[in-house]
Structure 1
Amino acid sequence: MNIQGHAALVTGGGSGLGEATARELARLGAKVAVLDVNLANAEKVAAEINGIACQCDITNTDSLQAAIAKAAAAHGPARILMNIAGIGSAKRVVAKDGTPAPLEDFARVINVNLIGTYNASRLFAAECAKLSPLVDGERGVMLFTASVAAFDGQVGQQAYSASKGGLVGMTLPMARDLAQHGIRVCTIAPGLFATPLMRQLPEPVQASLAASIPFPPRLGKPSEFAELACHIVTNTHLNGEVIRLDGALRMAPR
């Protein structure tokens, strides 16, 4: 699909990988709606890329439907969905004092990262399936954002790894399910990236993490994630695939 002129939704578009992807889509001519739970962040990014900001909680159907409707009123129905919103967590199953990890923490991560992504995807797909087909019968494309933790989860990453592993497992059946509607589905599993969250760590810690990446021995650039995300949109034969973007990194147990 040619990105130029098409409407795109980017969840988590107010910062980090989502912001970079929103900016790259806009650079390539898309009409971008920046969906984020943080309205101030969304408005800042949207203003700079001539897009539209939509405050949105991906775990709340009413919130999502309102955001999708607002974006469609401004830009027309979306053909591109970038699912990038997500949260992290690190809890040992059994704490040092012998107490079990709180179930609420596990449920919260699954709810946002996995169920929230599915929620956005099903609502987008239902609207996208109504659109007229383009070249090759394509109507739209959606991206999931997993993580190398889906494969190499570290100590304490049970919730995060399970949520990202769920996205990996959902990729192929979602692509097969939506093939009848001409909607493609792919997933990127990024490694260690220089996001705002990563930059909050002390410099020595960042340097140590970067050194663990075989090549190039540096943190990934959000722009590199964005470039791959946009390539998936333009390469129509990419479908049902999970792509690791990690410089050959394989995470150690801790």
Structure 2
Amino acid sequence: MNANQIFNLENKVALITGASKGIGEAIARHLAACGAKVVINSRKQEDLDQVAESIVASGGQCIGLAANAGDTQGCKELIEKAVAHFGGIDILVNNAATNPVYGPVLNSEEWAFDKIMNINVKAPFEISKLVHPIMKQRGGGSIINISSIAGITPDPGLGLYSVSKAALNMLTKVTAKEWGVDGIRVNAICPGLIKTKFSETLWQNEQILNHFVKKLPIARMGTVDEIAGLALFLASDAAGYCTGGIYSADGGTTI
């Protein structure tokens, strides 16, 4: 099998949460460019429509379906609509995430803990369970959880977020171990500092940015396309023997 074949996603359907911007949008564009039929999701339909129209204009197949990843019933309806439109789901990218607080855990309140865990851990758990029987019936699939290096080593001020991403990493390993028999591979990507709106409070402050960058072997922030490339690999047959992996893409932060 040559390189063109091994990364060919024709006849595959991909669902990406949190895909109206940033890493999720970049992943959607990469998968669509390799032939996948793509369903993008976030909370605002108008944002999704803009991205979907751009992907279609570039020759891809894409629809946007709004739903809150933290609403299990809403996600069930999202998946039903995706299947009704494209016939199934072969690739799931759990990218939706939140971090509404910054500071020590001692100052964190219960509402913040509940919101972070609901979106960052429970949502991927529930969505993956909903997609499992669909993938199993189709002979297998690939689930990619977008985690963070904060789930490997805690970042100052990101305590609850770090806990949630560590839990997501373990969820990745547990489901990989249990679902391999069904032909379903589950892997996680742990980005470092990537230039997105989600991380803008870090990179817009030159002092904070310099603090992070000067410690990196690759002395710069990463790009969304560099994360999307790794997601494409994990979604494709090139990663057919990869499951349960926790892949860092962090410029060397965790060395």
Common fold: TM-score over 0.5: yes
1:5 aligned residue: 11
2:242 aligned residue: 238
The counterpart of 2:221, out of the listed 219, 222, 225, is: 219
Taking the aligned partners of 1:168 and 1:176, their CA distance within structure 2 comes to 13
Taking the aligned partners of 1:114 and 1:209, their CA distance within structure 2 comes to 29
Letter in 2 for 1:174: T
Could you state the TM-score of these two structures normalised by the residue count of structure 1? 0.88
State the shift of 1:207 in Å.
Answer: 4.3
User: What percentage of aligned pairs have identical amino acids?
Assistant: 28
From the superposition, tell whether residues 34 and 204 of structure 1 become closer, same or farther in structure 2 (CA, over 3 Å): same
Taking the aligned partners of 1:30 and 1:109, their CA distance within structure 2 comes to 30
Of the structure 1 ranges 217-226 and 41-50, higher mean CA displacement relative to structure 2 is found in 41-50
Alignment of 1:81-100 (within 5 A): 81-88=92-99, 89-95=101-107
Q: Does the alignment pair 1:106 with 2:113?
A: yes
Q: Does the alignment pair 1:186 with 2:190?
A: no
| Cα RMSD (Å) | 1.8
2:74 aligned residue: 63
The counterpart of 1:39, out of the listed 32, 41, 45, is: 45
Could you state the TM-score of these two structures normalised by the residue count of structure 2? 0.88
Alignment of 1:165-204 (within 5 A): 165-199=166-200, 201-202=203-204, 204=206
Taking the aligned partners of 1:238 and 1:44, their CA distance within structure 2 comes to 34
- Secondary structure class of the residue paired with 2:177: helix
Point out where structure 1 has 5 or more consecutive residues left out of the alignment.
96-100, 134-138
Point out where structure 2 has 5 or more consecutive residues left out of the alignment.
1-5, 57-61
Taking the aligned partners of 1:221 and 1:206, their CA distance within structure 2 comes to 18
The answer on whether the counterparts of 2:20 and 2:47 sit within 8 Å (CA) in structure 1 is yes
Taking the aligned partners of 2:86 and 2:211, their CA distance within structure 1 comes to 41
Taking the aligned partners of 1:48 and 1:196, their CA distance within structure 2 comes to 19
2:3 aligned residue: none
Taking the aligned partners of 2:67 and 2:20, their CA distance within structure 1 comes to 11
2:143 aligned residue: 142
Letter in 1 for 2:172: T
2:59 aligned residue: none
Of the structure 1 ranges 153-162 and 142-151, higher mean CA displacement relative to structure 2 is found in 153-162
